[in-house]
Amino acid sequence: MTQLYEVPAKVLAFQPTVDFDAGLLSRLGKSGPRYTSYPTADRFSDSFGYRDYLHAVADRRTRGNARPLSLYLHIPFCDTVCYYCACNKIVTRNRERAATYLAYLKRETEMQGRLFAGMNDIEQLHFGGGTPTYLSDAQMGELMDHLRRCFRFAPDNVGEYAIEVDPRTVSAERVHSLRAQGFNRISLGVQDFDADVQKAVNRIQPEAETRAIIGAARDAGFRSVSIDLIYGLPRQTPTTMAATLEKVVVADPDRIAVYHYAHLPHLFKPQRRILDEDMPDSDAKLRMLQLCIERLTAAGYVYIGMDHFAKPDDDLAIAQRQGRLHRNFQGYSTHADTDLVSCGVSAIGAVGATYSQNVKTLEAYYDALDRNELPVARGARLNMDDVLRRTVIQKLMCQFELSVSTIEQAFPVVFRQYFAAELAQLKAMEDDGLVSVNGDWISVSSRGRLLIRNVCMVFDRYLAVPSAGPRYSKTV
């Protein structure tokens, strides 16, 4: 395939390689967490509430921590339902519901802004959903103005301000307006360009429509354009995936996320509309994954980890090479030193050594704010073991390697004693060629990078507690 993005030789030398071993992936693939947090969200407890969150913020203030913040806003509304979707969403064409929600969201962000007064500098903003652009252009403008009154935003050339967009719901003019409102990164949901696949998941989205929005984002001066794809969807085949990848490479986004579709109809009602006979088998899904890796790396993209690819001069690729890459609830990030303040139904935040999640229904959300309380429903307060294991998992997920001495300098443990059982488990992975444990380093091999979730699961003590049923997607 013609390489459409020229990679400087100096940069290419840093590019992580990925070895695809179908037999190994088929044998070792299993259900496991994605580790956007540790402990994972399914381990949060409802014993953690609003007052625990207040204590976490107060502790941050007491410590005199002047770190900047990351702000996440969840907009749950969608016009139509995509059958594959597992997000917390509300499908409605009644725009009054969004107006009501927006009034409460402003109230919550104002409360958060007051709570963080004097330490409310924002360096990262992310709008997720649902469909954030379900809000009208005027509503979005009002919300952004409101956020600037509640928080202090870093200049455009410093801050990373991202929004997820459904290309079917915006015009070129709206894209330019989003840039003028302060967003400098845009992520487009594509999933697949094949017409039959789109029909099977109830998301008809012509390639020309998506390309027009990418062009508008370039013209408007967005710093980064990302595309989301999914493999393992109904009616997908290696042939259709190859055609989609060719179109994506020509579109030339800065980042590409290729997610493995998790078919869990017992948990997500819309997925029950997907026919079992339309689902690709395991062998076909592995071949699609192999295609994604081969085509995207041949086109000059760097495999960042998990499902993410980026151009070698993208901030994510640079952060990985410099050891600054981080992982949070929005995926990979360059802002490792920020606490995450999250607003909206079901939104998850991370302040200090705590996680907190908001209530999941509009009724409960409105009720809490009517009582002048932040709508925190559950969360977790991390102990030393949690923070230690979170650090280990973060290093492996983001850098594919871990320095034992660095961990021992940061925590009061002798690594090989504390993690004796885990190192014994890694021995089997060494035998499979996934990792190497030599002297001061635990390193994930090129064969092991696609199974990084398996490697990290070794250090997850919560997995020892039996699960009531399937709760995770497959690791491959």
**147 and 267 together in one domain:** yes
- Asked if pLDDT for residue 457 goes beyond 50, the answer is yes
One domain, residues 86 and 169: yes
| Residue 367 within any structural domain of the chain | no
3-state SS of the chain? CCCCCCCCHHHHCCCCCCCCCHHHHHHHCCECCCCCCCCCHHHCECCCCHHHHHHHHHHHHHCCCCCCEEEEEEECEECCCCCCCCCCCEECCCHHHHHHHHHHHHHHHHHHHHHCCCCCEEEEEEEEECCHHHCCHHHHHHHHHHHHHHCEECCCCCCEEEEEECHHHCCHHHHHHHHHCCCCEEEEEEECCCHHHHHHCCCCCCHHHHHHHHHHHHHHCCCEEEEEEEECCCCCCHHHHHHHHHHHHHHCCCEEEEEECCCCCCCCHHHHHCCHHHCCCHHHHHHHHHHHHHHHHHCCCEEEECCEEECCCCHHHHHHHCCCCEEECCEEECCCCCEEEEECCCCEEEECCEEEEECCCHHHHHHHHHCCCCCEEEEEECCHHHHHHHHHHHHHHHHCEEEHHHHHHHCCCCHHHHCHHHHHHHHHHHHCCCEEEECCEEEECCCCHHHHHHHHHCCCHHHHCCCCCCCCCECC
Closest by CA position to 154, among listed 182, 190, 185: 182
Q: What is the pLDDT of residue 12?
A: 41
pLDDT, tens digit, 9 for 90 and up, residues 57-113: 999 999 876 789 999 999 999 988 898 988 878 988 888 999 999 999 999 999 999
Average pLDDT over residues 276-283: 92
Rounded Cα distance, 402 and 423, in Å: 13
Residue 469 confidence class, pLDDT cut points 50, 70, 90: very low
Q: Could you tell me if 98 and 131 are in contact, meaning their C-beta atoms sit under 8 angstroms apart?
A: no
Q: Are residues 201 and 135 in the same domain?
A: yes
- pLDDT of res. 262: 83
Asked if residue 469 is part of any domain, the answer here is no
User: What is the four-CA torsion angle of 420, 426, 427, 428, rounded to 10 degrees?
Assistant: 140
Note whether residue 347 is domain-resident.
no
Structure tokens at 195: 């017409």
Position 292 in a domain: yes
Q: Is the pLDDT of residue 55 over 90?
A: yes
Instruction: Determine phi and psi for 326, rounding to 5 degrees.
Output: -135, 165
Distance CA 111, CA 147 (A): 11
Last residue of a domain, one of 313, 342, 371: 342
Tens-digit pLDDT profile for residues 285-297: 999 999 999 999 9
Residue 19 lies in a domain: no
- Averaged pLDDT score across all residues of the chain: 90
pLDDT, tens digit, 9 for 90 and up, residues 187-224: 999 999 999 999 999 999 999 999 999 999 999 999 99
CA 351 to chain centre: 18
Residues 141 and 235 in one domain: yes
Kindly state whether residue 119 falls inside one of the protein's structural domains: yes
Q: How confident is the model at residue 3 (pLDDT cuts 50, 70, 90)?
A: very low
Q: Determine the Cα–Cα distance for residues 442 and 402; give it in Å rounded to an integer.
A: 5
The enclosing domain of 244 has a CATH number of 3.20.20.70
Whether 328 and 432 share a structural domain:
no
State the residue range of the domain holding 403: 384-464
Q: Per-residue confidence at 147, pLDDT binned at 50, 70, 90? A: very high
318 with 438, same domain? no
Domain count, the chain: 2
Average pLDDT (107-134) is 95
Residue 350 is assigned to a structural domain of this protein: no
In a domain, 25, yes or no: no
